[in-house]
């Protein structure tokens, strides 16, 4: 529920009775006590709901049939926290028949509303709009025809994206709003619907062309916001595994904190994805910063052995039971572990060779093959290993008889995190 405040007494004492009676008894005007503020998804956009109707009573909001026809335009002003993301249009949906009214955003109308309400407030009537620490967003409706003697009511829902704080983190709220409302005649002496909005600023400003604008009421609601930062780019070999940790930045002034279900997807075909936890429950927000302790959504990605090397997306999504959701994408670089053969150092006295092999990561290097004695070397990080090549069996006998033997060494490397890669190298051993 939002906390509402009534506007001050009507402006009838200040402005010409004839003009105001014509305006107020006309068409779509803000209905007092209709403001509702909510965050339907538990996080994300805030919905500002209000109603407009014919002949609303200034104290009770009761609506009665119009007693004045003609062509009109309505002006809706909605004050929101600075940096909020405003829709380009809003729609007034009829509740008791009649036309749908489409409003388009107008920065010029917002400026005129701000100037008009400030001037009236200086005269002791109403309040200036928008309130401090907010910014005003105004919408001008398409022209519509008012029906004399007919009661009409409309419902308006406007969804505003939460602002982003200067540090790019989550917005803890609260979300404060204030409604200003106006209307003006269209056609004849009033002028076209394309003319600039000119809100009345006092008794001397009452003309057929001007608009009647006043602050209606306002309120605020505690909100929740979750920002997921991208995990640092991960890397994995074919057949290996990478762990991506997404920072979860949550802030709230809501009475009840939302819970989140976590899910993950990837553009890497057939990747196995595992979440450290399928849910996220924010900690209690700090009273000053309104932010909860930083948490992490951790995803383990197992890369298929037959994957194609490349750069892939890994997406983490957090969703509330109410339907709100937020996602973030991290990058995963998939590569094939590569070996680089260096020089070969021969020992003719022993008939052996020492093979220099550069390995890309921690793991185990093995040399084997037909006629080659198996040898292993381990690495704790990327480095160049020296592994012996020794003949065995018939190759060793041939080496002893004629002083030379050609062997084909199978060089295999098993990364600590990845699939085995192999290469072959023919080596002519000599003994003298």
What's the chain's Rg over C-alpha atoms?
37
The span from the CA of 375 to the CA of 387, in Å, is: 7
Interatomic CA distance for residues 114 and 123, integer angstroms:
14
* pLDDT of 17 strictly over 80: no
Query: Which residue would you say has higher pLDDT here, 189 or 280?
Result: 280
Query: How many Å apart are CA 256 and CA 259, to the nearest integer?
Result: 10
pLDDT surpassing 90 at residue 24: no
pLDDT > 50? residue 2: no
Tokens of 173: 């709220």
Other CB atoms within 10 A of residue 82 CB? 10
pLDDT at 208: 86
The answer to whether the 225-335 and 340-430 domains have the same CATH topology is: yes
pLDDT tier at 16 (50, 70, 90 boundaries)? very low
Q: What is the mean pLDDT of residues 220-229?
A: 98
Helix (H, G, I), strand (E, B) or coil at 338: coil
Taking residues 382-387, report their average pLDDT: 96
The answer on pLDDT for 20 being more than 70 is no
Q: Which CA distances in Å does 385 have to 337, 375, 418, 420?
A: 15, 12, 19, 17
Rounded-to-integer distance, Cα 314 and Cα 245, Å: 11
**Higher-scoring residue by pLDDT: 91, 17:** 91
Cα distance between residue 66 and residue 352, in whole Å: 106
Burial category of 174 from C-beta neighbours within 10 Å (exposed 0-12, middle 13-18, buried 19 and up): buried
Written as six digits, the tokens of 426 are 């023919």
Continuous segment of H or E residues that includes residue 140: strand 134-141
**Segment 167-186, tens digit of pLDDT:** 989 999 999 999 999 999 99
- Residue 69 scores a pLDDT above 90: no
Q: List Cα–Cα distances, 49 to 127, 139, 245, in angstroms.
A: 21, 14, 38
Is the pTM value of this prediction over 0.75?
A: yes
Cα distances from 394 to residues 346, 401, 408, 411, in angstroms, run 20, 10, 13, 20
Q: Do residues 176 and 81 lie in contact, with contact meaning Cβ atoms separated by under 8 Å? A: yes
What is the per-residue pLDDT for 203?
Answer: 81
225-335: CATH, from 3.40.50.10860, 2.60.40.150, 3.30.980.10, 2.60.40.10: 2.60.40.10
Closest CA to 295 of 265, 325, 318: 318
Residues 101-155 have pLDDT tens digits of 999 999 999 999 999 999 999 988 889 999 999 999 999 999 988 888 889 999 9
**Confidence tier at 412 by pLDDT (50, 70, 90):** very high
Structure letter (DSSP) for residue 11: G
pLDDT at 5 over 80: no
* Residue 7 reports pLDDT greater than 50: no
Mean pLDDT of the chain: 91
Is the domain defined by 340-430 classed in CATH 2.30.30?
A: no
Considering Cα of 240, then 246, then 247, then 250, what sign does the dihedral take? negative
Work out the pLDDT band at 27, boundaries 50, 70, 90: low
Q: Per residue in 77-101, pLDDT tens?
A: 999 999 999 999 999 999 988 899 9
Q: What is the pLDDT of residue 413?
A: 96
Cβ contact 43:249 at 8 Å: no
Express as a percent the part of the chain with pLDDT over 70. 94
Is the model's pLDDT at 9 over the cut of 90?
no
C-beta of residue 210 within 8 angstroms of C-beta of residue 191: no
pLDDT above 60 (res 279): yes
The predicted model gives 255-273 an average pLDDT of 97
CB-neighbour burial class of residue 19 (10 A; exposed 0-12, middle 13-18, buried 19+):
middle
- Grouping H, G, I as helix, E, B as strand and the rest as coil, residue 115 is helix
Give dist(CA 389, CA 392) in Å, integer: 10
**What is the band of 28 on the pLDDT scale with cuts at 50, 70, 90?**
confident
Q: What number is the average pLDDT over the span 215-242?
A: 96
**Domain boundaries in the chain?**
11-221, 225-335, 340-430
């Amino acid at each position: 529920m939002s906390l509402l405040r009534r506007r001050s007494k009507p402006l009838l004492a200040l402005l010409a009775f004839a003009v105001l009676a014509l305006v107020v008894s006309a068409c779509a005007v803000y209905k007092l006590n209709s403001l509702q503020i909510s965050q339907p998804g538990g996080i994300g956009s805030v919905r500002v709901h209000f109603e407009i109707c014919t002949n609303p009573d200034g104290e009770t909001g009761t609506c009665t049939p119009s007693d004045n026809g003609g062509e009109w335009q309505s002006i809706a002003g909605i004050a929101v926290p600075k940096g909020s993301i405003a829709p380009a249009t809003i729609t007034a949906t009829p509740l008791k028949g009649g036309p749908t009214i489409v409003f388009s955003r107008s920065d010029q109308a917002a400026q005129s509303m701000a100037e008009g309400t400030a001037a009236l407030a200086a005269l002791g009537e109403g309040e200036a709009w928008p309130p401090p620490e907010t910014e005003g967003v105004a919408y001008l409706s398409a022209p519509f025809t008012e029906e004399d003697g007919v009661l009409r009511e409309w419902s308006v829902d406007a969804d505003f994206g939460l602002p982003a704080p200067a540090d790019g983190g989550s917005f803890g709220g609260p979300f404060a709003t204030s409604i200003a409302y106006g209307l003006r005649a269209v056609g004849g002496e009033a002028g076209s619907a394309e003319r600039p909005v000119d809100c009345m600023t006092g008794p001397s400003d009452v003309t057929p062309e001007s608009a009647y604008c006043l602050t209606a009421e306002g309120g605020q609601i505690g909100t929740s916001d979750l920002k997921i930062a991208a995990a640092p780019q991960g890397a994995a070999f074919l057949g290996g595994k990478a762990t991506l940790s997404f920072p979860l930045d949550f802030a709230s002034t809501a009475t009840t904190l939302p819970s989140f279900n976590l899910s993950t997807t990837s553009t890497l075909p057939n990747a196995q994805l595992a979440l450290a936890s399928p849910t996220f429950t924010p900690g209690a927000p700090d009273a000053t910063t309104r932010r909860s302790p930083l948490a992490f959504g951790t995803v383990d990605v197992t890369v298929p052995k037959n994957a194609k090397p490349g750069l892939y997306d890994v997406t983490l999504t957090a969703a509330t039971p109410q339907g709100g959701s937020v996602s973030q994408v991290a990058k995963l670089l998939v590569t094939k572990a590569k070996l680089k053969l260096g020089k070969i150092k021969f020992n003719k006295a022993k008939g052996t060779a020492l093979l220099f092999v550069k390995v890309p990561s921690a793991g185990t290097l093995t040399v084997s093959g037909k006629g080659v004695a198996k040898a292993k070397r381990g690495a704790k990080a990327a480095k160049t290993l020296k592994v012996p090549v020794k003949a065995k069996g018939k190759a060793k006998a041939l080496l002893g008889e004629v002083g030379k033997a050609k062997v084909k060494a199978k060089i295999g490397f098993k990364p600590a995190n990845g699939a085995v890669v192999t290469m072959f190298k023919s080596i002519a051993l000599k003994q003298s």
